[in-house]
Structure 1
Amino acid sequence: MATTRVPPPVAGQTALYVGDLNHDVTEAMLFEEFKQAGPIVSIRVCRDSATRRSLGYAYVNFQSSTDAETCLETLNYTSFKGRPCRIMWSQRNPTLRKSNKGNIFIKSLHPQIDHKALYDTFSAFGPVLSCKVVLKPNGESAGYGFVHFDSDEAARLAVEKVNGMSLNGKIVFVGFFERRANRLELHKQKFTNIYIKHLKSEVTKEKLDEVFSKFGAIRSSLVATKDDGSSKGFAFVNYEEHDSAVKAIDELHDSSSEQNFDLSLPSKTLYVTRHQRLSERQHLREQWAKERQQRLAKYVNLYVKNLDDNIDDAKLKEFFEPFGTIISAKVMRDEQSGASRGFGFVSFRDSEAANKATAEMNNKLGISSKPLYVGPAQKKEERRLQLEMQFAQRTKAGLFTGPALSSAPLTATAQAFNPTGYLPTASPALPLGQAHASFLQQMQGQRPSGPRWSTEQALGRMPQAMGPPRGRVPMMGPAASAYAAQARFQMQSRPPPKSTPSPAQPLFGGRPFTTAPHMVPPQQARAPVPAMRSTEDPTLTNEYLAGLPVDQQKNLLGERLFSYIDRDYPDLAAKITGMLLEMEPREILGLLGQPELLGSKVSEALEVLKRHPEEMQAAKNLE
């Protein structure tokens, strides 16, 4: 096909626009290539004012309009650094530059059709101002392009002749170009494809067609599935008529399972809407994200967990209403069964009310069977980042250092490993420093350099210190009663220390440190044992607790709590201790330093037990 010469928009114009350039193309490269068309006055590659990075286009000014026209005809689509450039007359008027006049859109292009092939095809219908095949980031064709003619008549002729025609073995679509806003509006007026979500996992294509065919003839339908064949919970239905799609949306959108023939999940209504294109969905995501940030800046959202199954949205709102105006309160539920997931969110209008609610409701007993946790709501990414930072800090503080080798004093290490509260006996022939090393070897399962006897013998096969197996302690029920009985039995069954004539230093709370008779090997029972000096009990801190396993943290804190509660409530001390150990270790540590606050928590626990007489009686029966 013969090409048509493109006249300049203004007589005598010498400026050309060069687009689709690689970001590494410079003025020197363009000059070397374009100087063959004629003398060049200037070349400028447009760059970002801050980074000085190329914007991908340039302007070339020739001395004469004839030279510029020659360059446009002979050097258009010349490749620079692997990318063909696109040359057109420079158009200073933005209104004409952005006009749809003479602009057409082509899709379903063969991958081998490039800019030049598209230009050669459509230039037969009239002068082409610009021609472009859209490329992917890897340089491959995206399968569609644009051709801009200098007149509407040439564009109309191209649409009539080429639309539905085969190019390189593929039938192409050619139509007049419409801007995105106009296309979306046109699509809304003529759509036939609808999107459905919140479907039950057992909904099949046959069931979907049965329900939606009542509104009109269906061209195609699809239930989205995972790799294993299970449903993803959403589907698509494409009708032959636009009115059928509109009717289906009007009838089934926001309908319950009873109204939509058992298609939707029990806890949600069916969502039916017009199918949206990817660009439209992306725009909506950005808009929602912006609105969410505005809501977060305006309102304060709290996260509440440890909720009982019988607490719904209304009850949750009722609990928090005394603290201020609530925007929303929601208990999260399982999509399939509709059962509560044990947590929810409460949104307050102002931060003052949210802070007051957090202070009053966090760790509160009596609302649920477990102490409530109330804190600021965080996005999943923010929470993950915070946990990673905490993990890194704990690792740096020595979380993975074994207790026997950590920087904690020897007495605390012995208490963690030895339930009796006394250090195993070292060989009498060893000095103090070697005795310490011998003890560390025993804690690590190694044999000391002294006489051969096992750590198991040294510890006397004593039961573990107060505490249940690893895991959280249930606050109410048989498991809690069993834990309370075990705790009280171990606290009361510890043998009192037996003093010896030799002086000893205090180990914990003024108790004498000495050698228990049952911890001395038979072959050393009559040998005199020199007293070992020990340090005083260290003050419990968050850093020290972070270096211990969870069960040892519970043991230490449980002993402190039990000794405090046992003075006032000996019959219920073990039970209340088990209930308070449901709290986080750092929160328990804060209670130990504030007797008044600890007393209030004990009072709350007593109130819970009073509302459950069978639990209180079971706790007393354990004594």
Structure 2
Amino acid sequence: MQELCALYVGDLHSSVTEANLISLFSRFDGFRSAFLCRHWITRTSLCYGYVNFDTLERAIMAMKAINYEVLNGQRIRVMLAAEARSWKDGIGNVFVKNLEAAIDSLKLHDTFSRYGRIISCKVALTPQGTSEGYGYVQFQSPESADTAIREANGSIIQSNPICVEKFIKKSERSSSEPTFTFNNLYVKNLDSSVTTEMLRGSFSEFGKITSLVIQRDINGISKGYGFVCFENPDDAKRAMEALNGTTFGSKTLYVARAQKKAERQRFLRSQYEERRKETKGLNLYVKNIVSKVNEEHLRNVLGQCGRITSIKIMRDDKGISRGFGFVCFSTREEANNAIHRLRGILFHGKSLYVSIARSKEERAAYLQTLRTTIMPSLPWGLPPTPFPIHPPLLPYGVN
């Protein structure tokens, strides 16, 4: 029965503490305790927690009063902990897109509550706290979700016609069969010599074009990409399928559905995460690279440890080396071999630093671990040395 008296509290701002939750919920009868979930290593907030009440009735009363209230500048989301499991399973969940920026979770809840009891409602937000233009509504029953899809799809909220459809888990989606139509195409890898007339000549054979533009800088030089909009969505799809990957001038065209900025950023983030998972343990971070060293120089050194699948030195907008880069090996054994053999060698007068590449979150978690576990046990003034230096400093480099 303990679980029936617990509330799940999500979408918390990272600054929210247990004290904030206690202050918010203790004004209700039957309040017993509050617990903020934290990362087991860094102890940083996971932005959700649980609040316990002595009876189910009192928990529901608090939930109705507190749900979507603003805490530390962010709307929170409250549901019965027992129902949080069905929320994660996706039963009765609908996906809503093309939302106005002014629509938040509370307004979305008020709009869809007419179709049945809502377990959870959320508008997706950017890291800056602005709407991504889509959200999720979780109904208690699948029948309510079906009613919402049937009656709300295509309806107008403020000035936008919204799209309401059944939520499909990412693992079950088919990227090759989009569920929506599109007219506008994004085209990149264009030669600087390609004109709008040349591009129109290639695309117009698939149907009537309503607009076509090649993006240019302030000096009128092509940026290498543009947009082609067709009158008929079927023509746009045929053009994309026929021209994507074909040679146009000296380059291979990339043709895809044009995306809004927020959608494109989500896609790039997901691509980055997939790539990071695929190369975990294979990708190395290399720094202390002098400016005259290029990728080929770096390949000559690290290539002795195994087969390199990709290598890149990071540069600024003027093409000047930023002193670090990334080298990806084909196996973990090769990557580890490079770390142990090459970390600390003198390379063009600098001691080369080589380690496994980590994401920003992983680096923050590691540093927090050092601060909380390693540094307190060290003698005063002795800095931590998390990795031994192998081998001893030896000169190496291409003159």
TM bin, normalised by shorter chain, reads 0.5 to 0.7
Of the three residues 139, 145, 162, the one matched with 1:149 is 139
- The equivalent residue for 1:44 is 35
Shift of 1:80: 1.7
- The equivalent residue for 1:124 is 114
- The equivalent residue for 2:77 is 86
CA distance in 2, matches of 1:179, 1:123: 23
Of the three residues 45, 62, 65, the one matched with 2:53 is 62
* CA RMSD after TM alignment: 4.3
- The equivalent residue for 1:253 is 245
Deviations 1:383-426 (A, max 9, x none): 5427xx98999xxxxxxxxxxxxxxxxxxxxxxxxxxxxxxxxx
Shift of 1:347: 8.0
Deviations 1:216-242 (A, max 9, x none): 344554322223332112233345344
Shift of 1:144: 2.6
Q: Does the 8 Å CA contact 2:185/2:227 hold for their aligned counterparts?
A: yes
Q: Does the 8 Å CA contact 2:13/2:71 hold for their aligned counterparts?
A: yes
- Does residue 274 (structure 1) correspond to residue 256 (structure 2)? The answer is yes
- The equivalent residue for 1:180 is 170
CA distance in 1, matches of 2:20, 2:256: 50
Deviations 1:344-382 (A, max 9, x none): 99889962999xxxxxxxxxxxxxxxxxxxxxx862459
Shift of 1:246: 4.2
Superposed, which structure 2 residues align to 1:11-30 within 5 Å?
13-30=4-21
Q: 1:349 to 1:205 in 2, by over 3 A?
A: same
Partner AA of 1:279 in structure 2? R
Could you say which structure has the higher strand fraction? 2
CA distance in 1, matches of 2:84, 2:273: 32
Which of the pair has more CA radius of gyration? 1
Structure 1: runs of 5 or more not aligned: 1-9, 256-262, 298-304, 306-331, 333-342, 355-376, 394-585, 588-623
- Does residue 379 (structure 1) correspond to residue 319 (structure 2)? The answer is no
Q: 1:245 to 1:144 in 2, by over 3 A?
A: closer
CA distance in 2, matches of 1:290, 1:162: 38
CA distance in 2, matches of 1:48, 1:24: 14
CA distance in 1, matches of 2:36, 2:94: 28
- Does residue 165 (structure 1) correspond to residue 147 (structure 2)? The answer is no
CA distance in 2, matches of 1:222, 1:136: 29
Shift of 1:68: 0.8
Q: Does the 8 Å CA contact 2:33/2:53 hold for their aligned counterparts?
A: yes
CA distance in 1, matches of 2:72, 2:244: 55
CA distance in 2, matches of 1:252, 1:31: 56
Q: 1:153 to 1:188 in 2, by over 3 A?
A: closer
Deviations 1:566-607 (A, max 9, x none): xxxxxxxxxxxxxxxxxxxx96xxxxxxxxxxxxxxxxxxxx
State the TM-score, normalized to the length of structure 2: 0.63
Shift of 1:88: 0.4
Q: 1:159 to 1:51 in 2, by over 3 A?
A: same
- The equivalent residue for 1:224 is 215
Shift of 1:189: 9.6
Structure 2: runs of 5 or more not aligned: 285-291, 325-346, 352-397
Shift of 1:282: 3.9
Partner AA of 2:323 in structure 1? L
Shift of 1:291: 7.0
Q: 1:291 to 1:212 in 2, by over 3 A?
A: same
Q: Does the 8 Å CA contact 1:215/1:245 hold for their aligned counterparts?
A: no
Q: Does the 8 Å CA contact 1:77/1:86 hold for their aligned counterparts?
A: yes
CA distance in 2, matches of 1:42, 1:352: 56
Partner AA of 2:154 in structure 1? G
Q: Residue 98 of structure 1: SS of its match in structure 2?
A: helix
Of the three residues 139, 156, 160, the one matched with 2:129 is 139
- The equivalent residue for 1:206 is 197
CA distance in 1, matches of 2:153, 2:41: 45
Partner AA of 2:245 in structure 1? H
Deviations 1:14-34 (A, max 9, x none): 111011112232223322322
Shift of 1:59: 0.6
Shift of 1:70: 0.7
The count of corresponding residues between Structure 1 and Structure 2 is: 310
Superposed, which structure 2 residues align to 1:425-464 within 5 Å?
none
CA distance in 1, matches of 2:314, 2:190: 25
Shift of 1:47: 1.1
Identity of aligned residues (%): 31
CA distance in 2, matches of 1:189, 1:167: 19
Could you say which structure has the higher helix fraction? 1
